[in-house]
């Protein structure tokens, strides 16, 4: 049974400069809620309350967000703002969150490796902090259900346009039942012509603890970083590994356009602002050139 989650959140977020010069990209809000809170909520909704967050320099705001703020709570009580008080207290009560520092930015694989002492000899899930997934059954729950069946590492998959495969880790595998693949190989950010498929890893992983042994032996790869995909490629040469096609929608908020689209879509689902936003979008659309 999986009890622990690792959320890497150590990157500089250079694609969002200057906004991320003094605040983590994971704290950029989707409407009024930091991206990282959606990711934590997904883990919690999947039954996981022991979370290791891997952070780096300039990420103190994440720690403070999930900690109690007694001064703010006292002020909300004095102002009679019970709804806001409930929201703030919920954040600090969501889960047991532990923070581990990645002292050098050496890639996703290294970030996951930093959590090895807390994870110990247990299976665990990894959720990337710049991707939000909406699904009827939480994406991590979908992964955990497959892991419970096979007791082997499992990754979430999404089918993308072939022109986009160079942005992701890509699998080569065989479909063994609808939506479930037995993975033969993985390639990190391949050229379009070299990609074995257009099934890419969709930012969620359920991993056995022996991944740490493979990470320790993994040399820097793409971008001169230690890639998690490379360690998984080594692991799949020894053990079975599965890929599950996502049943839901993934929002990549790690780039400007994806971030803006996500904010608009989430805002359109909010009862408090959706009507006015729809009216604004319709009026704006009339002024746009063809």
Q: What integer is the mean pLDDT of 177-188?
A: 92
User: By the 8 A CB rule, do 195 and 187 touch?
Assistant: yes
> What is the CATH code of the structural domain delimited by 4-254?
3.90.550.10
Hey, where are the domains in the chain? 4-254, 255-290
Separation between Cα atoms, residue 44 and residue 94, nearest integer Å = 7
What confidence tens digit (pLDDT) does each residue in 7-59 have? 998 777 788 888 888 888 889 999 999 999 999 999 999 999 899 999 887 77
Partners of residue 53 on adjacent β-strands: 7, 99
**Interatomic CA distance for residues 201 and 236, integer angstroms:** 15
pLDDT at 69: 86
> What pTM was computed for the model?
0.92
Q: Is residue 139's pLDDT more than 80?
A: yes
| pLDDT at residue number 193 | 84
pLDDT at 8: 93
Q: Is the pLDDT of residue 115 over 80?
A: yes
State the Cα–Cα distance between residues 97 and 238, nearest whole angstrom: 33
Q: Within 10 Å of residue 289's Cβ, how many Cβ atoms?
A: 3
pLDDT for 106 beyond 90 = no
- Give percent above pLDDT 70 in the chain: 100
Q: Check residue 10 and give its pLDDT.
A: 75
Name 29's bridge partners: 34
Mean pLDDT of all residues belonging to the chain: 91
Interior angle at CA 206, CA 201 and CA 208, nearest 5: 125
Considering just the CA atoms, what is the radius of gyration of the chain in Å? 20
């Amino acid at each position: 049974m999986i009890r622990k989650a690792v959320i890497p959140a150590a990157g500089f977020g250079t694609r969002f400069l200057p906004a991320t010069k003094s605040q983590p990209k994971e704290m950029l809000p989707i409407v009024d809620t930091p991206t990282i809170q959606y990711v934590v909520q997904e883990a919690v909704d999947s039954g996981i309350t022991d979370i290791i967050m891997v952070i780096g320099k300039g990420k103190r705001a994440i720690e403070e967000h999930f900690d109690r703020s007694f001064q703010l709570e006292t002020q909300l009580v004095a102002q009679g703002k019970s709804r806001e008080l409930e929201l703030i207290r919920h954040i600090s009560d969501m889960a047991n969150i532990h923070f581990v520092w990645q002292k050098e930015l050496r890639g996703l694989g290294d970030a996951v490796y930093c959590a090895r002492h807390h994870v110990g000899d247990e299976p665990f899930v990894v959720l990337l902090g710049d991707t939000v997934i909406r699904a009827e059954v939480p994406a991590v729950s979908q992964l955990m259900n497959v892991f419970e069946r096979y007791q082997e590492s499992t990754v979430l998959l999404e089918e993308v346009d072939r022109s986009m495969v160079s942005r992701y880790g890509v699998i080569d595998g065989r479909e063994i039942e609808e939506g479930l693949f037995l993975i033969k190989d993985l390639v990190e950010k391949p050229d379009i012509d070299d990609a074995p498929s257009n099934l890419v890893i969709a930012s969620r992983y359920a991993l056995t603890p022996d991944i740490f042994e493979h990470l320790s032996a993994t040399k820097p790869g793409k971008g001169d970083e230690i890639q998690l995909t490379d360690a998984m490629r080594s692991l799949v040469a020894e053990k079975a590994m599965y890929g599950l096609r996502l049943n839901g929608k993934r929002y990549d908020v790690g780039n400007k356009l994806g971030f803006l689209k996500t904010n608009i879509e989430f805002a359109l689902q909010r009862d408090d602002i959706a009507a006015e936003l729809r009216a604004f979008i319709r009026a704006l659309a009339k002024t746009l050139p063809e």
